[in-house]
Amino acid sequence: MHRRTLGSWTIVAAGLALCLGGCPADQGQPPDQPASEDAGAAVVAPPTEPVVAPPPTGVAAPAVPSKVIQEVEPNEATKQAMELKEPCVVEAALEAAPDPKKPAIDWYRIALGARKAVSLELSGVPEQNLKLSFLDRDLNAMFEVDDKGPGEGERFPNLTVEQAVYVKVSGDKGGAGGAYKLSVAARDLGTDEELEHNGRYSYATPLKLGQGMQGFLGCMADEDWYLLDLQELPVGSVLRIELTGVEGVRPQLTVADKEERRPLLEVKASEAGGGLTVRNLGLPPNPVSVYLQLKSAWVPGPQPKKFVRTANPTAAYKLTVSSEAGGDDLEKEPDDTAAQAMPLLDGQKMRGYLSAPNDIDYYKLEVEKPSLLSAELVAPARVDLRLSVVDPAKKDKDEDFQLLRVDDGKVAEPETIVNCALQPGTNWLRIEGSWKKVDGKWVRDFFNLDETYSLSVSLRADEGREEREPNDAAAKATAIKVGESMRGNLHPRGDVDAYLLDLSGQDGPRNTVVECTGIPKLDISLKLLGPEKDEKGNAKAIATSAKGKGEEKEELSKELMPGEYVILVGGSPSSESNAKDQYVLTVTQP
């Protein structure tokens, strides 16, 4: 799947290195692709009361700390850190440092005696931008929480404390300080709950197939890493990944191999609050385990053209990975770029899921000799698909990449390609959802997680007796000679087939007859363009014929001088097409 969206999510297969850090601070024609996203300043809405974040489902909630204690100074260094051995509220003050350029700092050491999930809330100090920083018991940096602005506090919902964790409260202005409160609440850690800090692959929380794991994206740049054990994955199976949505957060999930952490798949929710589902994720042979990385993706911010990241320290997500049956006829994700395309053989029928609004599935065909392609794409219920043959020279582009595209069918209706000329080598097909207008805006929101589409292809040798699509313009015209007959189809709707008649070697004027047999559903029309151009540089029409109805033959006769001519074959009404029945076009000079 594709740059892509699953359900309410987007898939983008990426060969990029993964971030390993913690929490730092129209109404015209439908577009080919949605607008790109720009990075911007990270912001998040202020937390609301109560100070204790609700635990994941099935986990006992911690009590609001009732014990209030006073800060013990000095605590400006880790060796002076104030010991916190039980849940409490610390009433404290940042004392201005002697150096006016150095921000004020207070250190605390949380040591509760058993493994706990700790929720921390820091109140604000006027005109100070406070920050929470965390070190493990060996004084190794873990992560920081710096989501809010001056005068606001910070919150983190589920810090896992095994033996001890160091917490630093710091301001951003030298020579300034102020009073604050630090609330430390604790609860038992659930068996199916992330172990925070898991913001690096080396700290990944273990995950098993079928296990539902709950966690928080508790600060803007929170990253949750999981190591998925695949030793019990049945042979030939694929993965299904489900993530519930969290209000205000647009989740992004990356699946990476364990050895080099190469991304196998990246998915993003298309909007904040959306969850995601990945169907039929394929894996390398004999995988032992893979990493899953979850974080907040970019969303439009309050300022125009600025994108931000968000967090929700009060609502937990649930992540579940399970296996499901695969098969040689089932497309496997990721396949949303030409480089990841699924192999497709002549005569083969494949099944696949359009499992997100921006899901894209690529297939590749190896062609040994010039051939004509026929393809049929059958859409599942509730989905409108479009099918493209990709120009090999533009296979890595996101726009204007198609050699030929069909988008005739509506919801649950098939798309058909006929007579598409393929050259020897690798050729690509692309499947994606169609655009539709909702409330005056073009959107792409088709997907179906439960039913597959089917794609069938067949190749036949190009023997020079049939039109070669695309041939809808003079520059792409299929060549035809006097005395020859060519067969073609008027498909998709509005199709016009151009044929190039080269009479340059002719001695003088000759009477030339163009005949075309009729086909069901359409009235054939003929137009002959001469060598002369109009003021805009377009070839002038010198003869037309549109008398026949239904399956009646159409004919035009004209005395032609030496030169190059273009014959246009069309049909009416433009709302119809015929992918099954072929017309026969013949040129003679009696």
- The pLDDT value recorded for residue 30 is 61
Residue 247 tokens read as 């209000």
Check residue 32 and give its pLDDT. Answer: 52
Mean pLDDT to the nearest integer, 491-510: 96
- Per CATH, which fold does 474-588 belong to? Jelly Rolls (2.60.120)
Whether the bond between 50 and the residue before it is cis, its omega within 30 degrees of 0, is yes
| Residue the block writes with tokens 């699946």 | 255
Q: What is the mean pLDDT of the chain?
A: 89
Fold (topology level) of 9-16+39-44+192-325? Jelly Rolls (2.60.120)
Confidence of residue 422 (pLDDT cuts 50, 70, 90): very high
Count of alpha carbons within 13 angstroms of residue 349, beta-carbon side: 6
pLDDT digits (tens, 9 = 90+) for 517-543: 999 999 999 999 999 988 888 899 999
Q: What is the pLDDT of residue 54?
A: 64
Q: 170: closest CA among 71, 73, 97, 85?
A: 97
pLDDT at 590 over 80: yes
What's the CA gap between 418 and 322, in Å, rounded? 39
Closest CA to 120 of 101, 103, 142, 139: 142
Structure tokens at 553: 């033959």
pLDDT-based confidence at 122, cuts 50/70/90? very high
Cα separation, 329 vs 344, whole angstroms: 9
User: What is the percentage of the chain residues whose pLDDT exceeds 70?
Assistant: 89
d(CA 359, CA 5): 5
Confidence band, pLDDT 50/70/90 cuts, at residue 12: very low
Pair 275, 269: CB distance under 8 Å: yes
pLDDT number for residue 1: 40
Strand partners of residue 205: 226
Q: What is the pLDDT of residue 61?
A: 61
- Residue 42: is its pLDDT beyond 80? no
Helix, strand, coil shares of the chain as percentages rounded to 5? 5, 45, 50
Q: Residue 497: which of 505, 507, 506, 487 has the closest Cα?
A: 487
- The pairing of strands 223-229 and 205-208 is parallel
Q: Is the peptide bond between 74 and the residue preceding it cis, with omega within 30 degrees of 0?
A: yes
Q: Whose CA is closest to 115, among 22, 198, 195? A: 195
Q: How confident is the model at residue 132 (pLDDT cuts 50, 70, 90)?
A: very high
Rounded to an integer, the average pLDDT of 7-24 is 39
Question: With bands split at pLDDT 50, 70 and 90, how would you rate the model's confidence at 50?
Answer: very low
Residue 549: band (very low, low, confident or very high) from pLDDT cuts 50, 70, 90: confident
Binned at pLDDT 50, 70 and 90, residue 284 comes out as confident
**pTM given for the model:** 0.78
Q: What is the CATH number of domain 68-187?
A: 2.60.120.380
**In the numeric block, which tokens belong to residue 192?**
């199916």
Per-residue pLDDT band for 33 (boundaries 50, 70, 90) equals very low
Give CA–CA dist 430/365, Å, rounded: 11
Q: Look at residue 59 in the predicted model and tell me its pLDDT.
A: 59
Residue 236: pLDDT over 60: yes
What's the half-sphere exposure (Cβ side, CA atoms, 13 Å) at 487?
Answer: 13
Query: What residue spans in the chain does CATH classification 2.60.120.380 cover?
Result: 9-16+39-44+192-325, 68-187, 338-461, 474-588
Distances (CA, A) of 91 to 119, 168, 176, 180, 184: 17, 15, 18, 6, 11
Residue appearing with tokens 């655009």: 435
DSSP 270: S
Please check the confidence at residue 20 and state whether its pLDDT lies above 50.
no
84 DSSP β-pair partners: 110
Higher pLDDT, 584 or 356: 584
pLDDT band at 219 (very low <50, low <70, confident <90, very high): very high
Question: For 231-242, what is the mean pLDDT?
Answer: 92
For residue 125, list its beta bridge partners: 128
Cα gap 67→86, rounded to integer Å = 9
Euclidean distance between the first and final Cα of the chain, in Å?
Answer: 56
How much is the average pLDDT of 57-85? 86
Please give the average per-residue pLDDT across 381-385, as a whole number. Answer: 96
Range of lowest pLDDT (18-22, 185-189, 469-473): 18-22
pLDDT at position 52:
56
Q: How far apart are CA 245 and CA 343, in angstroms?
A: 34
pLDDT tens digit string along 157-213? 999 998 999 999 999 888 778 999 999 999 999 889 999 999 999 999 999 999 999
> What is the tens place of the pLDDT at every residue in 428-446?
999 999 999 999 999 999 9
Q: Average pLDDT of 274-303? A: 91
d(CA 250, CA 41): 16
User: Quick one: CATH architecture of 338-461?
Assistant: Sandwich (2.60)
* Of 126, 56, 54, 118, residue with least CA distance to 86: 118
Position 6 scores a pLDDT of: 40
